[in-house]
Amino acid sequence: MINKNSTIYIAGHNGMVGSAIWRVLSAKGYINLIGASSKELDLRKQKAVRDYIRKTKPDVIIDAAAKVGGILANNNFPYEFLMENMQIQNNLINEAHRLGIDKFIFLGSSCIYPKLAPQPLKEEYLLTAPLEPTNEWYALAKITGVKLCEAIRNEYEKDFVSLMPTNLYGTGDNFDLHSSHVLPAMIRKFHEAKENNNSVVTLWGSGRPMREFLFVDDMAEAVVFALENELPEHLYNIGTGEDLTIRDLANLVQKIVGHTGAVIWDDTKPDGTPRKLMDVSKMHNIGWKHQVKLEDGIQKTYNWFLQNIENFKQKAF
C-alpha cells in the first residue's frame, strides 16, 4: 500500500507538471520524493535509467517527463518528438516492470485521440481514426506508452495507469514563443504588447477552434488521486469537461493582462484540431473533479509570469 513514507520517483520533476505534482505531494505530507534533472539523468539512455531505478528503489514511478511543444515545434522536429518520447517512456516503463515496481502512472495528452473524433472525447475513441497531422509524432509516442501500460496491466496484473490531460497551463509554464503552447504564448504576447504602448497583437489561425484548459495543480491532484487509489481501468481523461473558442480565450487573457490594443488573426496559419473537449465522466464517477476556474487559473499564471519575468531568456521574436 502507498503511504506518506513511500518512495515516489517523479520523472520530469523540474517541468511544469512534474513540479506541480512534487508541490502537491509535499503539501500532503509525502516525505520521500525523488527526482533527477536531465543533466543528472538522461532518460533517453536505457542503462542510465536502469541504474537510477536500481539505486533509488522507488515504490512508485510517475512519468511526467516528455519532449513537448506547440504546433511550430511539432512541425519542425517530427523525428525528435517521436523518437525521444518513445525512448523516455519505454525506458521508464520497461525498467519499472523489470525491477518489480507494481505502480506506475503514465501522463500523456488529449492529442492521442483522432482529429475528427466525436465530441466530447471518450477514452474508447483511441485508435479509431487518423490523428491531427500537426502533432501526430508526439501523439504516436504517447499512444505507444498507453498501450504498453495497458499490456503490462493485462498480462502481469500490475497497477499501471495512464492519465490523459487536456491542455495544461499554470505555474512554471513555458513562455518561449518558439515552443510554448497557446495560453502562455498569449500571456507573453499581450504583456509585451501592453508594455510597448498597447501595440497590435497578431495571433495564429482563425480563432474558431475550441479548446479546454486545466490548471496544472488540478492535474497534480488527479495524479495524487491515482496514486492513492487503485483505479479500475487503464486509461482516464483528465480535464474540466468545458471548452471555449481560441478567440474567447484571447479576449480573456487580454482582459487579465490589461492590454487595450488591437488583435489581428492570421488565418494563413494552421488552426489545428477543430475541437478537443474531453469526456471526463469516468474520473468524475470515481471521485475526482477539477477545482480551479479558468479565469482564476489565468490570473495565477500571469502573476507567476510577472514574478519570474526577469528569468526568461530575452530573444528577438
Under the banding of pLDDT at 50, 70 and 90, the label for residue 313 is: low
- CA 301 – CA 311 distance, rounded (Å): 15
Order of strands across the sheet that contains 275-276? 244-245, 210-211, 275-276
Among 170-179, 207-216, 262-271, whose mean pLDDT is lowest? 170-179
Cis peptide before 114 (omega within 30 of 0): no
Q: What's the rounded mean pLDDT across residues 118-146?
A: 95
Task: Give the contacts of 23 (CB within 8 A, at least 6 positions apart).
Answer: 217, 220
Mean pLDDT of the chain: 94
Between CA 173 and CA 186 the distance in angstroms is 12
**SS3 (DSSP) at 159:** strand
Q: Is 142 annotated as a binding residue?
A: yes
User: pLDDT tens across 185-235, in order?
Assistant: 999 999 999 999 999 999 999 999 999 999 999 999 999 999 999 999 999
Respond yes or no: is residue 138 known to be catalytic: yes
Check if the beta carbon of residue 281 is closer than 8 Å to that of residue 149.
Answer: no
> For residue range 269-306, what is the model confidence (pLDDT) as tens digits?
988 778 889 999 999 999 999 999 999 999 999 999 99
Amino acid identity for residue 270 in this structure: P
End-to-end CA distance of the chain: 50
Mean pLDDT of 15-26: 97
Element spanning 9, H or E: strand 7-11
Active-site annotation holder among 9, 52, 138, 236: 138
177 is in an annotated binding site: no
Cα(64)–Cα(162) distance, rounded to whole angstroms? 11
| pLDDT number for residue 24 | 98
User: Between residues 175 and 21, which one has the greater pLDDT?
Assistant: 21
| Burial per residue of 97-116, b for 16 or more beta-carbon CB atoms within 10 angstroms, e otherwise | beeebebbbbbbbbbbbbbe
Q: Is residue 162 marked as binding?
A: no
Per-residue model confidence as pLDDT tens digits over 28-38: 999 999 999 99
Please tell me whether 14 is known to bind a ligand: yes
Q: What is the DSSP letter of 290?
A: -
Confidence of residue 316 (pLDDT cuts 50, 70, 90): very low
Amino acid 275: pLDDT:
84
Closest to 61 (Cα-Cα) out of 52, 48, 69, 73: 52
CA distance 118 to 233: 21
Say how far apart CA 180 and CA 317 lie, in whole Å. Answer: 13
167-169 and 201-204 beta bridge pairing: unpaired
Considering only 83-87, 151-155, 308-312, which range has the smallest mean pLDDT? 308-312
Determine which of 51-65, 129-143, 234-248 has the lowest per-residue pLDDT on average: 129-143
Is the CB of residue 204 less than 8 Å from the CB of residue 129? Answer: no
Please, is 2 exposed, middle or buried when counting C-beta atoms within 10 Å of its C-beta (0-12, 13-18, 19+)? middle
Q: By C-alpha distance, which of 184, 187, 215, 211 is closest to 292?
A: 215
Fold of the 7-173+212-242+276-292 domain: Rossmann fold (3.40.50)
- Is 219 annotated in some ligand binding site? no
Residues 12-34 have a mean pLDDT of 97
Name the pTM for this structure.
Answer: 0.92
What pLDDT sits at residue 315? 44
